[in-house]
Amino acid sequence: MPALVCGVRVLWRGAFLALEWALMSIDTIIAFSLLVVVAGGFYAGRTRAIRLVGDARRELHSLPNYYGYYVALWTGLPALLVLMAYALIGGQVADRMVVSELTREAAPLTSTYRETLTNDADYQALTAAAAQQRGRVVELNEEISRLRSTRGEDRDPAMIEARRAEQLEVLNLATDTDAQAVRRQEEISQGILDSIAEDAGGYRIRAGFQLELGGNAAKQLFMADARRIADGRIASRTSPALDAAAASLVETEALIRRSVAGLVILMAIAGFGLSRFQIAPSFRARNNVERLVLVVLFLSSLIAILTTVGIVASLLFESLRFFREVPLQEFLFGLQWSPQIAIRADQVGQSGAFGAVPLFAGTAMITLIAMVVAVPIGLFSAIYLSEYAGTRFRQIAKPLLEILAGIPTVVYGFFALLTVGPFIRGIFGALGFEDVVTQSALSAGLVMGVMIIPFISSLSDDVINSVPQTLRDGSYAMGATKSETIRQVVLPAALPGIVGAVLLAISRAIGETMIVVMAAGQGANLTANPLEAVTTITVQIVMLLTGDQEFDSVKTLSAFALGLVLFILTLIMNIIALRVVRRYREKYD
C-alpha cells in the first residue's frame, strides 16, 4: 500500500511537471534549454580534458575546469547574443514585417485613393488656399522680425502689434482651411473603405490602408493597439482592422520565435562541437577564457562610455535645435520664463518667454538653504560619531541616521507641504510678515536639507575613519589636544572625501524634483525672498515633458536646453572636486 501511494504521488508530480512544461512559453523553454546545454558543455569539456591525459593531469596546460569554461562559453555565448538581439529588436522586426505585408496587400486601394485625391477639385482648392495662407504667415513673421530688429526712433511698436494680430488672424484661417482639407480627405477615404468587402481579407486591406495613409505617430499608435490586442491586453480602441493586424502580428511573431529557436539551437550545437574539437593537452584554455573575459569587460566599459556619449549628444543636438529658435543670450539672461506659446488669437497669457534666470535662481536658493542645513549637521554628526562616540552608541545612532536616506522623497514632500510649510507660515505671520505662503523656498530647502544629512554624514564618517591612526598619534605626541588634532590633522587629511560628500549632496539637491513640486510650487518666480514660491530646473523639465507633447516645438526643446545646463553644472562641480582632491592628496599622502 505505501508503495502504491508513493507511485501515485510520483505520477501526480510527473503530470504536474509536464503540465508546467506545456504551459511554459517558448522563450522560457529556449532559455532553460540553453542553460542545460551550457552546463553540459562545461561537463563535456572538463571530462574530455581529463580523459585525454588520464592520471597525468600535469600534462594539461590549464586546470580541467578551464577547458569546461571554454566549451561552455562558446556553447552559450553566441546563442545568448542571438537571444539578446531578439529581445531588443524582435518586436520591431515583427511590426515592420506586419506593416510591410499589410500595406503591400492594400497597395491597389492606396493607389486608387491617391488618384481620387489628385482629381478632387475641392481638396486641391483647399490645399492651395492653405499653402497660400501659410506663405503669408511666413512673410509676416519675417516682417515682424525685421521690425523688432529696428532700433531708435525708427522702431514702431504699434506696427509690430498690428502685424502680430494679422499674423494670428491668417494663422487661424490657415488652421481652419487645413481642417476643412482634412475633413474632405476623410470623406474620400471613407468612401473608398466602404467599397471593401467585410471579410478577413477586407479587414487586412483596411488595416494596410490605414497604415499607409497615417503618419509615423498614427502608425505607431495603430501597431501599439494591435500588439495589445495580440497580447490579450486592453487597447485604446478596437476595430476589425486592428483585430486583423493583431492576428497577423501573432502569426509573424510565432514565425520569428520559431526561427530564433532554431538558430539558437544550431549555434549552440555548432559552438559546442567546434570548441570541444579544440580540446587538447597543449591547448591554452586558461588564456582563451581570460581573453574572452577581458573582451566582455571591455565591451561593458565601452557600453557605459557610449551611453554617456549618447546622452550628451542627444542633449546637445536637441539644445542646438532650441537655440536656433531662441537666442542663447535670451535663454541664459532672460528674466521671464513662460514656455507656453500662443497659436490662436483667443489664447491669452501665452508670452513664449524662455528666460531661465528665475529657474537658476530658484534652484540656487533651494540648494543653498538645503546645504546650510545639511553640511553643518552632517559634518558635525560625522565628527562626533567617528571621534567622540562610543562603540555602542555609534552602532545605534549611525543606522538610525541613515534611515533618513531610505525615506521616499514623496514622503518628504508631504511632510513639507502639510507640516513644515504651515509651521513656517504661522511663525513668520506671527512676526508680522505679510503674504507668507505655504509653498515656499524655505520650506523646500529645510526639508531637502534634512533628506541630505545622511549623505554627508555617512560619507564623511567613512572618510574620517579612513584617516591613518599614525597621523593622530603623531599629533598627540606633539602635545596637541583631541580637538586640535581633529581641526588641524584629521579634517585636512579627510578634506578630499568631505568635499566629495558635499558635492554629491549638492548634486542630489539640484536634481531633486518631488519635494520642490510639493513644497515650493511650480511658478517661475524671480525673487530673493525665501518665503515666496519658486521653482527649479528639474521641476520645469518634468512639466515640459509630461503629457502629450510635440517634440518639434520650442516648448519641449527647452527641456533639453535645461538638461544641458544641469549637465554642465554637474561637470563643473566634478572638475572642482577633482582639483581639490588632487591638491590635498599630494599634500597628505
Q: Is residue 231 part of a domain?
A: no
Q: Is residue 461 part of a domain?
A: yes
Instruction: Report residue 352's pLDDT band, with 50, 70 and 90 as the boundaries.
Output: low
Closest alpha carbon to 33 in 78, 70, 79, 89: 79
Instruction: Report residue 77's pLDDT band, with 50, 70 and 90 as the boundaries.
Output: confident
Residue 539 in this model has a pLDDT that exceeds 80: yes
Residue 298, pLDDT score: 92
Q: pTM (2 decimals)?
A: 0.64
Residue 19, pLDDT score: 38
Question: Other CB atoms closer than 10 Å to residue 89's CB: what's the count?
Answer: 11
Residue 344, pLDDT score: 46
**CA atoms of 174 and 185, how far apart (whole Å):** 16
Residue 221, pLDDT score: 84
Q: Is residue 467 part of a domain?
A: yes
Residue bearing the bigger pLDDT, 5 or 86:
86
CATH at 473: 1.10.3720.10
Burial class (CB in 10 A: 0-12, 13-18, 19+), 250: middle
Length of the chain: 589
Q: Are 463 and 489 in contact (CB under 8 A)?
A: no
Residue 371, pLDDT score: 92
What is the pLDDT averaged over residues 41-58?
82
Residue 356, pLDDT score: 83
337-341 and 351-354 strand pairing: antiparallel
Q: Is residue 307 part of a domain?
A: no
Cα–Cα distances (Å) from 94 to 84, 197, 242, in that order, read 16, 27, 15
- Domain range for 397 is 354-588
Q: Is residue 109 part of a domain?
A: no
Q: Is residue 302 part of a domain?
A: no
Q: Is residue 187 part of a domain?
A: no
Instruction: Report residue 368's pLDDT band, with 50, 70 and 90 as the boundaries.
Output: very high
In this predicted model, what pLDDT tens digit does every residue of 112-158 receive, in sequence order?
888 888 888 888 888 888 888 888 888 887 887 777 777 666 667 77
The domain tally of the chain equals 1
Q: Is residue 91 part of a domain?
A: no
In this predicted model, what pLDDT tens digit does every residue of 492-534 receive, in sequence order?
888 888 888 888 888 888 888 888 888 887 777 888 888 888 8
